[in-house]
């Protein structure tokens, strides 16, 4: 059901010829009201794709009627022609739906530099076909149409106190061959003001998608959109709603991590007793982005020296010679020296847990990442494309 | 000749049993005077190995009599015992040479966490054997004894205006399996004050070794040491000397890049027309550290979108939509859109040149890096150790 699980949403996924495989590649998610509240967060990369530049303007007034998404082309660095394509995409959808183009968000994923006339024609045809196929159980089809190298469609639903949140996602960092991007659409029939939608979305993404760092590479096209229509008639308790939205976002982030291209380990790096949350995130991210650490995990090697060498590059508050490092439950380093023998650590399970105790304060954070594998290199080199 | 090319230096390299292969693993470089000027630059990693902590104190007074180096163990995160080992190493060398332990620099490279009693015993025995074998043509033997996964010993010599500089180096970023570190010793018979030696060393390393970023991973043990004895009797023109020291450092950096473990491309990322040098370095480094870009080069794929996605994450001054990207002489992107067809780019040569024109100012910088290959993953996962 995914994005069509809440009341008052329709979706579709169609094959428009953007993918050479002939698989579905254009998706629509439409909010049938009564309210048309929308909020979104975007990549912080200064190199932004055309659909990002378009969509940032659309969400400013807090009103979103529909989301059009395509796989098979990022429409990034395609010049003014590419921006016009994003604009025309919104216009075509708006025209067919009887709404304003200024309330239609556009998302794209695929190879940077792809966005010529052929691309444009197929996207517009896909919008027409998609609108014709909109249905209140189209959530699964939409989730499938946004897949690139994803091996499974990623959807999630949660219901609480009379309201429901649904979601779909694709990608994982930029872990795909020449393709890109995490695209997420979240829908709810809870009754939210635009400012509330924006606030809860920031809160949820900050603790989940923002802490998924599969390969350290930031996409030009990342976008997470929340649509809220109030169809349930219920004004939710905001803390409860934010908690549910965070939970659902966390589940989608975990699905993205689990399906990361080429990965053989899903690594959770938990940093505890940090001075503040920012320090905890910085320390976790430094390990998540260390190629030597990631290659060691691929080889089932509990190489804690690489963990310490990575965190030593941060400016977080801690004493490098008074840090404990645990791997899958075994303390391998304490107080600046080796602790339990490395042989005690079993790194064969896919789920890998690294615990870093900074012994400074009370803050904590977990960063999700993947290992660096032969398959990652293969998928991301031209041999695969 | 390497470090013994200038007058008044002796060196040795001996096998002390630290390497399981039985190859040489302890090196000494001794300054026979008349002057005993020394300067060094160290890793900026907060997680510093014991020999770094020791050597930082040694060089403070600008006097260095000798350098003791070992491969086969990093002596990092080995607790107070490990620090005592560095101290004892300097003491043993000082005693045998008839100098002060406070004037003996120690460098180590190898696995983090390695530095037990067996290690200590072998290093000390190696120092004794090394002192016994010191000779004025021991430079090559010393260069061989500091090798880890290096396939060739890296040495260089330049002579100008009556003075000579010699050098040896090992490593490349942290591109070695479980091993680490760039270690460099530079010697000269030019007559320099300590403050001059420090200044020219900073200047040379800042433009060369600091811009070698093979895999983005900073070692706990990096050290570049310059010894100057004035044996030539010549006070060099400082600008000419700095230029020669930079030239020799650049040559060593290139040798490190060319010998990087597992690499199939030696990539020079040249950033031009930056607002200032710091921007140029930041932009170049962001590309050098982007795994997607590095994997694409491995696959001979001129994926300029990944270059733009990488530089978009920086804070440097430029317009992402008005940047030119050239690969091996072909302009593949201009003004935010594709330019020449990717088929025109030949990425089969090992030497790869990426030119990024920011079109903002007059500053420039080149970062040296390597591609991300199957061999890199293999060498740095446990399968190789």
ipTM: 0.89
Tell me the longest C-alpha to C-alpha distance in chain A: 67
Per-residue pLDDT averaged across A150-157, rounded? 94
Residues A199 and A157 in one domain: yes
What is residue A172's predicted lDDT score, i.e. its pLDDT?
Answer: 62
CB contact under 8 A, A178 and B299: no
CA–CA separation, A247 vs A243, rounded Å? Answer: 6
A33: closest CA of chain B, how far (Å): 37
Of the candidates B258, B285, B307, which is a domain's last residue?
B258
Residues A285 and A170 in one domain: no
A47-79 pLDDT, tens per residue? Answer: 999 999 999 999 999 999 999 999 999 999 999
Q: State the 10-residue block means of pLDDT for chain B, 385 residues long.
A: 95 96 97 97 91 97 98 93 97 98 96 91 98 97 93 95 96 47 93 97 92 84 95 97 96 91 93 97 94 94 93 94 97 93 95 98 95 89 58
Strand order across the beta sheet in which B363-370 lies: B337-338, B330-334, B324-327, B351-357, B266-274, B363-370
A112 touches chain B (CB under 8 A): yes
B334 touches chain A (CB under 8 A): no
Task: Give the tokens for residue B224.
Answer: 């570049």
Residues A199 and A283 in one domain: no
Q: Mean pLDDT, chain A, as a whole number?
A: 93
What is residue B385's predicted lDDT score, i.e. its pLDDT?
Answer: 43
Per-residue pLDDT averaged across A5-16, rounded? 98
Q: Is the peptide bond before B34 cis (omega within 30 degrees of 0)?
A: yes
Residue B300 lies in domain: 266-384
Report whether pLDDT(A179) > 60. Answer: no
Residues A170 and A212 in one domain: yes
CB of B264 within 8 A of CB of B379? no
A111 touches chain B (CB under 8 A): yes
What is residue B175's predicted lDDT score, i.e. its pLDDT?
Answer: 41
Exposed/middle/buried for residue B44 (C-beta within 10 Å: 0-12, 13-18, 19+): exposed
Residues A247 and A333 in one domain: no
Residues A67 and A106 in one domain: yes
Question: Is B181 assigned a ligand-binding role in the annotation?
Answer: yes
- Stretch among A38-42, A240-244, B210-214, B296-300 having the lowest mean pLDDT: B210-214
Report whether pLDDT(A384) > 50. Answer: no
CATH code, B92: 3.60.70.12
In this prediction, residue A217 has a pLDDT band, given cuts at 50, 70 and 90, of confident
Segment 269-298 of chain B within 8 Å of chain A by CB: 289-292, 295-296, 298
CATH code, B337: 3.10.20.340
A348 touches chain B (CB under 8 A): no
The pLDDT > 70 percentage for chain A reads 96
Residues A98 and A197 in one domain: yes
What is residue A219's predicted lDDT score, i.e. its pLDDT?
Answer: 85
Beta bridge partners of B363: B274
What is residue A173's predicted lDDT score, i.e. its pLDDT?
Answer: 54
A312-348 pLDDT, tens per residue? Answer: 999 999 999 999 999 999 999 998 899 999 999 999 9
Kindly report the CA angle at B84 between B127 and B37, in degrees rounded to 5? 60
Q: Which residue of B has its CA nearest to A379?
A: B295
Q: Which long-range contacts (CB under 8 A, 24 or more apart) does B325-329 make?
A: B325/B354, B325/B355, B325/B356, B325/B357, B326/B353, B326/B354, B326/B355, B326/B356, B326/B357, B327/B302, B327/B352, B327/B353, B327/B354, B327/B355, B328/B302, B328/B352, B328/B353, B329/B353
Residues B216 and B283 in one domain: no
Residues A342 and A233 in one domain: no
What is residue B177's predicted lDDT score, i.e. its pLDDT?
Answer: 33
Of the candidates A231, A258, A285, which is a domain's last residue?
A258
Task: Give the tokens for residue B381.
Answer: 């996962």
* Counted domains in chain A: 2
Question: Is A4 assigned a ligand-binding role in the annotation?
Answer: no
Residues B277 and B254 in one domain: no
What is residue A368's predicted lDDT score, i.e. its pLDDT?
Answer: 92
Residues B287 and B143 in one domain: no
Question: Is B261 assigned a ligand-binding role in the annotation?
Answer: yes
In this prediction, residue A22 has a pLDDT band, given cuts at 50, 70 and 90, of very high
User: CA B175 from chain center: how many Å?
Assistant: 12
User: Quick check: is B114 catalytic?
Assistant: no
Residues A288 and A370 in one domain: yes
The pLDDT > 90 percentage for chain A reads 82
Of the candidates B230, B258, B286, which is a domain's last residue?
B258
What is residue B172's predicted lDDT score, i.e. its pLDDT?
Answer: 62
């Amino acid at each position: 059901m995914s994005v069509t699980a809440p009341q008052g949403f329709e979706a579709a996924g169609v094959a428009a010829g953007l993918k050479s495989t002939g698989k579905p590649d254009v998706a629509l998610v439409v909010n049938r009201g009564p309210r048309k509240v929308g909020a979104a967060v975007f990549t912080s990369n200064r190199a932004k794709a055309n659909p990002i530049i378009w969509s940032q303007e659309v969400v400013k007034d807090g009103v979103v009627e529909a989301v059009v998404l395509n796989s098979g082309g990022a429409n990034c660095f395609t010049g003014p022609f590419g921006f016009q394509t994003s604009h025309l995409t919104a216009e075509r959808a708006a025209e067919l739906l009887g709404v304003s183009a200024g309330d239609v968000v556009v998302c794209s994923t695929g190879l940077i530099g792809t966005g010529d006339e052929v691309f444009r024609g197929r996207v517009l045809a896909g919008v027409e076909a998609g609108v014709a196929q909109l249905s209140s159980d189209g959530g699964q089809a939409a989730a499938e149409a946004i897949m690139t190298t994803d091996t499974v469609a990623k959807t999630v639903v949660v219901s609480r106190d009379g309201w429901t949140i649904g979601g779909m996602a694709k990608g994982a960092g930029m872990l795909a061959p020449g393709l890109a991007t995490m695209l997420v659409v979240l829908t709810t029939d809870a009754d939210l003001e635009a400012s509330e939608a924006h606030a809860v979305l920031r809160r949820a993404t900050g603790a989940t998608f923002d802490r998924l760092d599969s390969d350290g590479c930031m996409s030009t096209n990342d976008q997470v959109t929340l649509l809220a229509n109030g169809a349930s008639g219920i004004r939710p308790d905001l803390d409860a709603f934010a908690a549910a939205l965070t939970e659902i976002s966390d589940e989608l982030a975990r699905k993205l991590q689990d399906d990361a291209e080429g990965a053989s380990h899903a690594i959770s790096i938990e940093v505890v007793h940090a001075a503040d949350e920012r320090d905890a995130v910085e320390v976790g991210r430094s390990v998540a982005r260390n190629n030597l650490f990631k290659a060691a995990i691929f080889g089932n090697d509990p190489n804690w020296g690489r963990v310490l060498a990575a965190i030593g590059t941060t400016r977080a508050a801690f004493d490098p010679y008074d840090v404990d490092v645990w791997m899958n439950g075994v303390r391998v380093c304490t107080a600046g020296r080796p602790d339990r023998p490395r042989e005690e650590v079993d790194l064969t399970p896919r789920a890998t847990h690294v615990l870093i105790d900074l012994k400074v304060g009370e803050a904590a954070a977990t960063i999700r990442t993947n290992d660096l594998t032969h398959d990652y290199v293969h998928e991301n080199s031209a041999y695969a494309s």
